[in-house]
Amino acid sequence: MQNRMMITGAGSGLGREIALRWAREGWRLALSDVSEAGLQETLKLVREAGGDGFVQRCDVRDYSQLTAFAQACEVKFGGIDIIVNNAGVASGGFFSELSLEDWDWQIAINLMGVVKGCKAFLPLLVQSKGKIINIASMAALMQGPAMSNYNVAKAGVVALSESLLVELAQQEVGVHVVCPSFFQTNLLDSFRGPTPAMKAQVGKLLESSPITAADIADYIFNRVAAGEFMILPHEQGRMAWALKQKNPQLLYDEMTVMADKMRAKARQSNG
């Protein structure tokens, strides 16, 4: 390992905090995002934290931009040791309200963006015997109501990671998937949904979280070092996942009650 890391969605939130956590260990970071201003700010903070690196604007929907980013890592760093597929967007709304465009947008960024990131960087990771860290969500495991397109995209990231874990073992490329629950982040900036009430409900959940993006980055750092495949940063998330594995019906019943409550709330705010 030559301490070279690539992060998508590094201009803010969890992507930025992951960059800072590894920067404190002296890593060189290749940072990408669709926000130039966010990237410049992250790079400044990375240098202050003891790391260094470069930024490159990259939209993960465009495979040619990801392959160009991989080439830049090869030219500037001589390769890459860890890739973090973190770029993502939020959305919500009951299935009947979501348009097919909402589905396409969600899948294109949150699932295919990760697929393309893995594909573009795989040759470099095989060379370095590096690691893939894919950022999914507890939504991948718990499938909460009124976010079916987000649930499906994130569940796809878990399935992809499980597939790669098995397929890449022989080439000594490590794979990790992270499933955080709600945490304090700017995910709402990109939120897309049919109703303002849904956005407000998600906003409340994000704000009420006791855990920050920096806490999650630190947890990821330690669990990757320990070689853990499925990384669940929230204690409540770990408990919920254990419950679902033991008694899935109990969880489905709880989610059904939650869906009813959400519908009632939406009706109140509309009325």
Dump pLDDT digits (tens) for 46-94. 999 999 999 999 999 999 999 999 999 999 999 999 999 999 998 889 9
Token pair 């304090």 in the structure block, residue = 184
Distance CA 148, CA 73 (A): 35
State yes or no: is 63 an active-site residue.
no
In a 10 Å sphere around its CB, with 0-12 CB exposed, 13-18 middle and 19+ buried, how is residue 183 labelled? buried
pLDDT at 255: 85
CB 155 within 8 A of CB 134: no
pLDDT at 235: 85
- Out of 63, 150, 219, 252, the active site residue is 150
pLDDT at 84: 98
Q: In what order do the strands lie in the sheet with 174-178?
A: 52-57, 28-33, 4-7, 82-85, 131-135, 174-178, 230-231
Per-residue tokens: 187: 């995910």
**pLDDT tens for each residue of the chain, 271 residues long:** 789 999 999 999 999 999 999 999 999 999 999 999 999 999 999 999 999 999 999 999 999 999 999 999 999 999 999 999 999 998 889 999 999 999 999 999 999 999 999 999 999 999 999 999 999 999 999 888 899 999 999 999 999 999 999 999 999 999 999 999 865 444 445 545 555 555 555 555 545 567 889 999 999 999 999 999 999 998 888 888 888 899 899 888 888 888 998 899 888 887 6
Distance CA 177, CA 174 (A): 11
Between the alpha carbon of residue 159 and those of residues 2, 132, 154, the distances in Å are: 29, 14, 9
